[in-house]
Structure 1
Amino acid sequence: MTRLLSRRRVLAIGAAAAGLALLPNGARAAGAALRVWRGTALGASASITLHHPDSAEADRLIALCLDEIARLERVFSLYRADSALARLNRDGELRDPPADLVRLLSEAAMLSEQSDGAFDVTVQPLWQLHATHFGRPGADPAGPPPSAVTATLRLVGHRGLRIASDRVWFDRRGMAVTLNGIAQGCITDRVADLLRAHGMRNVLLDLGEVRALDRHPDGRPWSVGLERVGRPGSPSPALTIEDAAVATSAGYGTGFGPRGRFTHLFDPATGASPGHWRSVTVVAPTATTADALSTTLSVLPPARVAALLAATPQATAYLTRPDGTVVTAGG
């Protein structure tokens, strides 16, 4: 895979021009026992920060984390021809699917039902339609023809994806799945679970979504800064998290066409890219939940935000309007 979630990742850590960007600030050194790995994971800048008195053992655990990331990429990647997801999209069915894929697709299906279809992993044909349209020289900036959008919407619908322990398949030829709104969070959680199983506490993961285990080793919560629209580098509020996760979704991260009207975020009901929010940041108990909720809230009409968050009482959302003002909901 070249970029598992390249269409969705908002910003590299520390770089922000607009919206709410995640800036983990809690990884300051606390003596030699704080081990920080920085590199690339899931096709983007990443870091693993953990507190361990033995640097060699810390490095061994980090290597296990990287192996787990690579393993899960072979399941969830859109871009690796040999991944389980790529084979499902190519063949229309997958027999004896990996348990990781069945589990994540099942979680996605539950959120689809809970959000009345606003979260839908079968929107991949819409992305393909727009990528093909805008990839042509002289593409109409108004986007694909309405007839093409209508035809593509017939291939979208979470109930057309069938999930069983021994088989995953589509009801209609031409359907396809993207896990770009949930897989990065899932992988972050799996790495957190691995470290917890090895007795680790005081961990901060940034694998595109941020997940904290316990507190910073100096006893304070981990700190995640929020940088506001149009004011990069300016003083910003900070979220303090402990045993929690943070994820951001924003259309400005990846767009189609010169006008910024079309993004990688699609309303499964209309095929359009909603403009309700400039960005959505969610704090939740797990990175999977934060990731999926930030995606869902980005396309959900504002009037339905409170009801969805009420179903996840431990989640808080920070929603940036197009004018830069921020609304807080849930929690």
Structure 2
Amino acid sequence: MTGNSRKQRGINRRQVLQIFALAGAAGVLGLPLLGCGEAGMRVVRRSQAMLGTVVNLTVYSRDREQAEAAVTATLARMAELEGQLSRFREESEVGVLNRTGTLETAGADLQALLQLAGRVSEASAGAFDITMLPLLELYQRLAEQPAVIVGDEGRAAIAAARRQVDFRGVRLEGGRVSLAAGGMAITLDGIAKGHIVDQGAATLAAHGCRQIYVEAGGDLLVKGGKPGREPWRIGIRNPRPQLALPLPVINADSLAVATSGDYYQPFSSDFSYHHIIDPRTGFSSPELAAVTITAPNAALADALATASLVLGAQQAMDLLTVFPGCEGYFVRKDLSVSQTAGFPV
């Protein structure tokens, strides 16, 4: 959920995965649907603008009416969550918290996200921090003047913004949320879209759908495989498409995937400064161009991808050991690659 102001949402912050799921790719890449491969199965696909990007759903079912109803309910649920969690909407829960510093009664989804964000922040020693909005908004204001960022004026402004950033200043007590100091504000850009994907998948499951694909701007979750016992196939986007870089294809029946990259919203032509900022230094990490994380759920994959791009490959691998079932694939700025032993390729 990144944009150029709190009131105007931009296009998706991370168009990072090229999806080659043969059943689901039509909504993302404009490809024709291929044969189902299993008698009696029907496919329902739908795409809808949401979350500053396009949400793409694919459902296989023997009952088309059931699948259509499930997809309609899922898109409604995802839109509802966007209304609650978007920092771009003044009356959302996040909007109220940022404007007033206090939210007396947070909904269950916001509470769950704050708890997960806190876990990732603690485990990453602050590399992931939802209170970094003052830094992000500063960079967005300076984006048309990149020379200012590295000058004395820019460094002083960055230092001042950093003083408003500290994940420990988000206090969740029962259902009440508060920010410890004036000027603090949160952004769920690095975690909410994954959570909304998870909740979309949960809605489909609640309607009896078992073979599903839910994707929003590169954060995705697949379950149940495709008809004919075929896995979903998920390709990883080259962060430097002008240069040759063979990248793996993930084959999975049930998995969540998220990628963070330096290329979506760069603040300099060489990608040295971009929207993934180390909250501890105020500057983008110099090592990685992109990180792809696989995880049991999309919210966790989303947060870990952001933290990993900040940390660099080796520290990110150490971080992933804290979270069972999570693996990573790392592309450095020189296009050398590394991966965890269990990355599913």
TM over 0.5: yes
Could you say which residue in structure 2 is the equivalent of 1:212?
Answer: 222
- Match among 60, 73, 78 for residue 69 of structure 1: 78
Q: For residues 10-21 of structure 1, what are the structure 2 equivalents within 5 Å?
A: 10-11=14-15, 21=17
CA distance in 2 between counterparts of 1:6 and 1:132 reads 14
CA distance in 2 between counterparts of 1:256 and 1:131 reads 8
- Match among 272, 276, 281 for residue 287 of structure 2: 276
CA distance in 2 between counterparts of 1:2 and 1:262 reads 16
Could you say which residue in structure 1 is the equivalent of 2:20?
Answer: 24
CA distance in 2 between counterparts of 1:234 and 1:80 reads 39
2:261 is the alignment partner of 1:261: no
In 2, are the aligned partners of 1:8 and 1:250 still within 8 Å (CA)? Answer: no
2:257 is the alignment partner of 1:246: yes
> Which one-letter code corresponds to 2:148 in the other structure?
D
Higher mean displacement: 160-169 or 61-70: 160-169
Could you say which residue in structure 1 is the equivalent of 2:56?
Answer: 47
> Which one-letter code corresponds to 1:75 in the other structure?
Q
- Match among 154, 161, 164 for residue 145 of structure 1: 154
In 1, are the aligned partners of 2:307 and 2:316 still within 8 Å (CA)? Answer: no
In 1, are the aligned partners of 2:9 and 2:88 still within 8 Å (CA)? Answer: no
> Which one-letter code corresponds to 1:37 in the other structure?
R
Higher mean displacement: 141-150 or 240-249: 141-150
In 2, are the aligned partners of 1:112 and 1:120 still within 8 Å (CA)? Answer: yes
CA distance in 2 between counterparts of 1:231 and 1:262 reads 19
CA distance in 1 between counterparts of 2:262 and 2:337 reads 16
CA distance in 1 between counterparts of 2:239 and 2:271 reads 16
CA distance in 2 between counterparts of 1:234 and 1:145 reads 35
Q: Shift in Å at residue 259 of structure 1? A: 4.9
Per-residue Cα deviation, 1:144-176 (whole angstroms, up to 9, x for no partner): 522211111110010011112331111110001
Per-residue Cα deviation, 1:5-35 (whole angstroms, up to 9, x for no partner): 8576322xxxxxxxx6332323144446011
SS at match of 1:122: coil
Q: With structure 1 as the length reference, what TM-score do the two structures score? A: 0.89
SS at match of 1:292: helix
SS at match of 1:200: coil
Q: 5+ residue gaps in structure 2?
A: 24-32
CA distance in 1 between counterparts of 2:322 and 2:89 reads 35
Q: Shift in Å at residue 141 of structure 1? A: 5.5
In 2, are the aligned partners of 1:279 and 1:319 still within 8 Å (CA)? Answer: yes
- Match among 120, 136, 146 for residue 111 of structure 1: 120
> Which one-letter code corresponds to 1:142 in the other structure?
V
Q: For residues 124-143 of structure 1, what are the structure 2 equivalents within 5 Å?
A: 124-134=133-143, 140=148, 142=150
Higher mean displacement: 299-308 or 98-107: 299-308
Per-residue Cα deviation, 1:92-130 (whole angstroms, up to 9, x for no partner): 111111121111111101111111111110111101111
> Which one-letter code corresponds to 2:52 in the other structure?
G
In 2, are the aligned partners of 1:8 and 1:249 still within 8 Å (CA)? Answer: no
SS at match of 1:149: helix
Q: With structure 2 as the length reference, what TM-score do the two structures score? A: 0.86
Q: 5+ residue gaps in structure 1?
A: 12-19
2:180 is the alignment partner of 1:171: yes
Could you say which residue in structure 2 is the equivalent of 1:120?
Answer: 129
In 1, are the aligned partners of 2:12 and 2:52 still within 8 Å (CA)? Answer: no
Higher mean displacement: 106-115 or 298-307: 298-307
- Match among 202, 205, 210 for residue 193 of structure 1: 202
Given the superposition, is the C-alpha separation of residues 330 and 86 from structure 1 closer, same or farther in structure 2, using an over 3 Å criterion? farther
Q: Shift in Å at residue 258 of structure 1? A: 4.8
Higher mean displacement: 291-300 or 47-56: 47-56
Given the superposition, is the C-alpha separation of residues 249 and 200 from structure 1 closer, same or farther in structure 2, using an over 3 Å criterion? same
Given the superposition, is the C-alpha separation of residues 328 and 313 from structure 1 closer, same or farther in structure 2, using an over 3 Å criterion? same
Could you say which residue in structure 2 is the equivalent of 1:15?
Answer: none
Given the superposition, is the C-alpha separation of residues 330 and 182 from structure 1 closer, same or farther in structure 2, using an over 3 Å criterion? farther
Q: Shift in Å at residue 220 of structure 1? A: 1.2
Query: Between the two proteins, what is the percent identity of the paired residues?
Result: 33
Per-residue Cα deviation, 1:228-276 (whole angstroms, up to 9, x for no partner): 3445798653101122111110121112245533211111111011121
CA distance in 2 between counterparts of 1:7 and 1:114 reads 30
SS at match of 1:204: strand
Could you say which residue in structure 1 is the equivalent of 2:305?
Answer: 294
How many residues in Structure 1 have an aligned counterpart in Structure 2?
Answer: 322
Could you say which residue in structure 1 is the equivalent of 2:66?
Answer: 57
Q: Shift in Å at residue 80 of structure 1? A: 1.2
In 2, are the aligned partners of 1:8 and 1:180 still within 8 Å (CA)? Answer: no
> Which one-letter code corresponds to 1:10 in the other structure?
R
2:178 is the alignment partner of 1:182: no
Q: Shift in Å at residue 55 of structure 1? A: 2.2
The CA RMSD over aligned residues, in Å, is 2.4
